[in-house]
Amino acid sequence: MTNETNSKTASVDEVLDKGEYKYGFTTLIEADTLPKGLNEDVIRAISLKKKEPQFMLDFRLKAYRKWLTMKEPAWPNVRYPKIDFQDISYYSAPKPKKKLESLDEVDPELLRTFEKLGIPLDEQKRLSNVAVDAVFDSVSVATTHKKKLMEVGIIFCPISEALQEYPELVEEYLGTVVPIGDNYYAALNSAVFTDGSFVYIPPDTISPMELSTYFRINTEETGQFERTLIICAENSYVSYLEGCTAPQFDTNQLHAAVVELVTLDNAEIKYSTVQNWYAGDPETGKGGIYNFVTKRGKCAGDNSKISWTQVETGSAITWKYPSCILQGDNTQGEFYSVALTNGHMQADTGTKMIHIGKNTKSSIISKGISADHSSNSYRGLVKVNKGATNARNYTQCDSMLVGDQCSAHTFPYIETANNSVQLEHEASTSKISEEQLFYFEQRGISRENAITAVINGFCKEVFKQLPMEFAVEAQKLLTLKLENSVG
Amino acid sequence: MSESAVKKTESPETAVLALHEKFLGGDQAKASLRPVNQAGIERFELLKFPHKKHEMYTFVNTHQLAGTAFELAADSPVDTAWVQSKIYPACKNSVLVFVNGAFQENLSDLSGLGDSFKIRCLAEAVAEDEIKQTLLDSLEDENDVFAAINSAFVHHGVWIDIPAKATFGSPLQLLYVSTGSASAPVTSHPRLIMRLGEMAELKMIVAYAGTRENYFINAVNDFIVKDGAGVTFTQVQKDDAESWHCSKTRVQLHRDARFFGRNASSGNRLTRHHYEVRLKEDGAELHLSGASVLVNQEQVHNFIRIHHEAPHCSSNQLFKNVINDKGRSSFDGTVIVDKGAQLTNSDQLINNLMLSDEAHADNKPNLMIFADDVKCTHGTTVGQIDEDQLFYLKTRGLSQELAKSLLTTSFVDSLIQTIPFPDVVADLDEILLKKLEAKHA
């Protein structure tokens, strides 16, 4: 810790010495934004601001104490300057974004992107935060959908709201999939998270629609430390969408989210992500977002299923491994991923499939595309425990290289301690076949369109897992991203 | 290991340092190799024994090995008839025998190789600056603690220089015999450096055998293969079941050079094969393969790093393991394609056959690619005997047992049969397949 932060801590301590709820502490509480730095008082202040139950404060403090003993991981295949965790403000009150009068005020670059992605005009306005006419707003997706969900008993709300209204549900499941000390960033998130979604699907319920973060967060900035908890009770199904194809800008450089999924008997969660964070200056790679996310699902009940689909096209550094713990018997885990890196982006992403129950199945399809000066790594673990009789895994991770300055890596770990398993792992790395391009060009299709077609074909297995609208946008997004990379 | 733990008890590292001091003070150490010994022990102090989570040793438990206090193997007499039985008939006149790392002139015979085969004792050869530099350079970027220990204790060792365009009628056999010791566990550190001149060809077999349990053989082999030269290097590991075995093979391949490396392991407490191959110039070609049959608590680990440093090179790897009882097979292989190493073709395939539910198979086939115009693949499978194949054989009237045994033996035999030395194939059939049959019977 630096001297400066020491003095900061001391001043807060002095204030607190006067008694817990006296003057000094309330200024912390009343402030819109907490001063930079992290200590136990900051955590107490966050918890108090959010009016959280006692168990939550204990959870946060335990995580913080654990975090202090941990070291920042050095094993990922990414490089970035050291992060000063005392130079971050861990809480600021949600601020509404500045409303714009019309689309004319929006950055023309952003509008051009919208157009290429084929986003409808009303949606464009919503995304760039232009005030929309009352009619559109009142019948907005968010309000109508919320009503429908309430009818079937689905809880879908910010996690801070859930902590007050359904504390017993949160207490039962929070931290059961990603324990507070799981890794450095998960511990930090557990200590300081302020925002995120909570979903509870009651037994025997098929969610009538796809849930999306998109209609929960509308005018507020997304948090830096998001926490998502989705619980799918017996015989239920939900499909959850996170992110959107539109480019997202954020003033916070470090993002350390945690996502936990739990499925009980015969339940199924399908979690799809399309991420397009700001990746930094394409020439120098400066200023991009660091996305250090811990995503994990636990198939706790028998016959349950968790499926992760991700299309990663953004953030300067991506460090995430959506994983499945296949605990119940006959459970299934799936991971479909397209990770595209260009400019100076670095991605170290993959999955973990932990087979514990009997007759568990998992499949992994990962497609990596690297272009320009980027580096793209797949890192995956398939672990079969001793009791996981008849476990089955199929893994395929393919990489495609566009240009000779980029790199692609695969680091699979396959560990088996059971003889009734069947595991297959395949990987290949190659560039776009000249023969295929020649064929297209010979048919009169331009080289650029030919490359798009080949890349979309390469990713097809993943795209077909995405909900329809997402899939269409995702395809366009890849084309857009590669526009200046392919000569 | 945390500092406090080191202080509490004598750490494995201090035991090695003490042994090293004893070695330098004793009459085994050679003055000419002293700089290498010194550099080796310094490297060892830097690297230290791997802790549990060391990425290079994730799947290998070296704790017991590091914790055993070894003595240096003394030059002791051996049963000549027993040693001779380990010499392959085809290599009768082209064999070098080492007992506990020391060259045995009376048991060796090089008459079949002719005059162009030049061999010198390493202690003598190191007087040449170039050779000394090669040895010291190899320590500069040494990442394997056991290879560093080898350098720290090297005193025998041979330097073989094959002149340009030389070819030999019969394969060369290197036989490393370890005698163990009744009193305490002993260790030996054989070292081989071989340089093949342009267009030279050499076929060689390295066999490791032991007469008694409780020893640790820690070999390092270096190959410098010049333009257009080719080496066939087959390692047969048939040490005693209670021994430890580490071998590191470092290869530099120049223009159009070829290296065919094979290993077959019968398993022991721990066998670790470490390959570090650099394809330095255009057109170099590498083939690596390995087979193992493991029972009881035996463990075999293959650790491979292949560096494609130049364009137009190709490499392929094929490993097959049969694992029974509490056996443990592991594989950690990385292919690194450097920037500019375009038109690289690389394959990697690992097949594991698990016969018991206490067996372990861990695999880590990695690719690190910095060039775009390449074709690199890797694949791993872990499974049991295919039910369909079993059914097919049963429809042909074979009993369940026979069908099973046929499929299991053919799984490894398909690899053994590719070894171009009939003597070795017969030997491995004897050792590895017998091991399987014993289980089936």
| End-to-end Cα, chain B, rounded Å | 45
**Hey, which bits of B179-214 come out as E strands?**
186-188, 191-196, 201-210
| B199 and B85, same domain (yes or no) | yes
Query: pLDDT digits over A364-420, tens only?
Result: 999 999 888 889 999 999 999 988 999 999 999 888 888 888 889 988 898 888 888
Verify whether the Cβ–Cβ distance B383 to A422 is below 8 Å: yes
How close B244 comes to chain A (CA, Å)? 23
Q: Is B359 inside a domain boundary?
A: no
Q: Are residues B393 and B268 located together in one domain of the fold?
A: no
Which of these three, B253, B281, B309, is where a domain ends? B281
| B216 and B94 fall within a common domain | yes
Cβ pair A91, A49 in contact under 8 A: yes
- B266: helix, strand or coil: coil
* Strand pairing report for A197-201 and A155-158: antiparallel
| Selected residue of A406, A415, A455 to mutate for chain B interface (largest B Cβ count, 10 A) | A415
Q: Is the pLDDT of residue A244 over 70?
A: no
The residue among B281, B299, B320 that closes a domain is B281
What integer is the mean pLDDT of B350-370?
89
The CA dihedral of B49, B52, B55, B59, to the nearest 10 degrees, is 110
Identity of the residue in B352, B354, B369 whose CB atom sits nearest the CB atom of A429: B369
The answer to whether B379 contacts chain A (CB < 8 Å) is yes
Q: What is the pLDDT of residues A45-86, one digit of tens each?
A: 888 888 888 999 999 999 999 999 998 888 888 888 888 888
Interface size A-B, in CB pairs within 8 Å, comes to 121
Instruction: Classify residue B293: in a domain, yes or no.
Output: no
User: B250 to each of A14, A261, B132, B138, how far by Cα in Å?
Assistant: 62, 47, 16, 9
pLDDT in tens, A331-366: 999 999 999 888 888 899 999 999 999 999 999 999
Mean pLDDT calculated for residue range A137-154: 66
Range of the structural domain that residue B156 is part of: 2-281
Answer left, alpha or beta for residue A347, where phi above 0 means left and psi between -120 and 50 means alpha.
beta
**Has residue B368 been placed in a domain?**
no
Q: Report helix angle A40-49 to A184-192, nearest 10.
A: 50
Residues B275 and B411 placed together within one structural domain of the fold: no
Number of domains observed in the structure of chain B: 2
Q: What is the pLDDT of residues B371-380, one digit of tens each?
A: 888 888 888 8
pLDDT in tens, B69-97: 888 877 777 788 888 888 999 998 899 99
The helix or strand, by DSSP H or E, that contains position B36, with its residue range, turns out to be helix B34-47
Mean pLDDT of B266-283: 92
Task: State whether residue B386 sits within 8 Å of chain A by CB.
Answer: no
CB B274 within 8 A of CB B261: no
| List of chain B residues whose C-beta atoms are within 8 Å of the C-beta of residue A430 | 374-376
| Backbone dihedral angles phi then psi of residue A410, each to the nearest 5 degrees | -130, 130
Q: Are B288 and B258 in contact (CB under 8 A)?
A: no
Q: Are residues B275 and B396 in the same domain?
A: no
3-state DSSP call for residue A264?
coil
Supply the pTM of this predicted model. Answer: 0.80
pLDDT for B434: 80
Distance from CA of B301 to the nearest CA of A (A): 13
State how far the Cα of B29 lies from the Cα of B157, in Å rounded to an integer: 12
Q: What is the pLDDT of residue B256?
A: 95
Phi and psi, residue A435, nearest 5°: -65, -40
For residue B104, being part of any structural domain is answered with: yes
- Cβ burial of A122 (10 Å; 0-12, 13-18, 19+) is middle
Are residues B55 and B189 both part of a single domain?
yes
d(CA A171, CA A45): 20
B177: phi then psi, degrees, rounded to nearest 5: -105, 130
- Given a contact cutoff of 8 angstroms between Cβ atoms, the answer to whether A73 and A186 are in contact is no
Q: Are B357 and B319 in contact (CB under 8 A)?
A: no
Residue owning tokens 């590292």: B13
- What integer is the mean pLDDT of A98-116? 67
pLDDT over 60 (residue B298): yes
Query: Do residue A428 and residue B377 have CB atoms under 8 angstroms apart?
Result: yes
| Cβ atoms A170, A162 nearer than 8 A | yes
- On chain A, the residues whose CB falls within 8 A of the CB of B333 are none
Last residue of a domain, one of B265, B281, B297: B281
- Of all residues in chain B, the one with the smallest CA distance to A369 is B372
Distance from CA of A424 to the nearest CA of B (A): 5
Q: Which residues of A touch B374 (CB under 8 A)?
A: 401, 429-431
- Closest residue on chain A to B332 (Cα): A413
Answer yes or no: is B139 within a domain: yes
The neighbour count for residue A58, using CB atoms within 10 Å, is 11
Same domain, B105 and B243: yes
Q: How far is B253 from chain A (nearest CA, A)?
A: 24
Chain A contact probe: residue of B360, B372, B387 with most A CBs at under 10 A:
B372
Task: Please state, rounded to an integer, the average pLDDT across all residues of chain B.
Answer: 87
Same domain? B244 vs B98: yes
Q: Return d(Cα B361, Cα B18) in angstroms, integer.
A: 36
pLDDT for the residue A72: 86
Question: B343: which residues sit within 8 A by CB, 6+ positions away?
Answer: B311, B312, B373, B374
Q: How confident is the model over B124-175, as pLDDT tens digits?
A: 888 888 888 888 888 888 888 888 888 888 888 889 999 999 998 889 999 9
Name which residue leads in pLDDT, B104 or A93.
B104
C-beta atoms of A416 and B362 within 8 A: yes
| Beta strand pairing call for B102-109 and B95-99 | antiparallel
Q: Cβ of A401 and B369 within 8 Å?
A: yes
Q: Are residues B57 and B175 in the same domain?
A: yes
Residue in chain A nearest B328 by alpha carbon:
A417
Contacts of B376 in chain A (CB under 8 A): 428-430
Does B373 map to a domain?
no
ipTM of the complex: 0.73
* B91 domain-assigned: yes
- pLDDT value for A255: 83
Q: Is residue B170 part of a domain?
A: yes
H helix runs in B299-399, sequence order: 387-395
Residues of A within an 8 Å Cβ radius of B: 75, 386, 389, 399, 401-431
